[in-house]
Amino acid sequence: MLVESDWLIDNIDDVIIIDTRGKIPYSYAHIPNSIPLSVEDLMTFKNSTGYILEKDKAEKLLSKLGIDNNRKIVLYGEYLDPSIARVYWSLLYYGYNDINILNLGFTK
């Protein structure tokens, strides 16, 4: 589901906000209270091929970052960057249900 920036402002204390752009863009600017989590964080590489991180390893990483399945999750990234879809799909694969995407991403 897409959420608008006004909705996020009104609900910022009740959601987990995930920045999918990577740690370097996050270090320059990010939405307050957001957590950096890029698609690369959810991958493992074997023979130069990327695979989705095994579920037990992903659960440890997500738990360490404070991401749980008890609160609504809002993802954001650069507008039109397809990485956000991969993070969305990965979280669904790991069993997270209430995942939303910030409309227009970080550009707004």
SS3 24: helix
CATH number at residue 6: 3.40.250.10
- List C-alpha distances in Å: 42 to 59, 89, 98, 101: 10, 11, 18, 18
Rounded to whole angstroms, the Cα distance separating 52 from 94 reads: 10
Question: Which range of residues forms the domain containing residue 44?
Answer: 2-107
Q: How many domains are contained in the chain?
A: 1
Reported pTM: 0.91
φ, ψ (nearest 5 deg) of residue 11:
-120, 15
Tell me what the pLDDT averaged over the chain comes to: 92
Compute and round to an integer the Cα radius of gyration of the chain.
13
pLDDT digits (tens, 9 = 90+) for 46-60: 777 778 999 999 999
Residue 66's pLDDT band, with cuts at 50, 70 and 90, is very high
SS3 78: coil
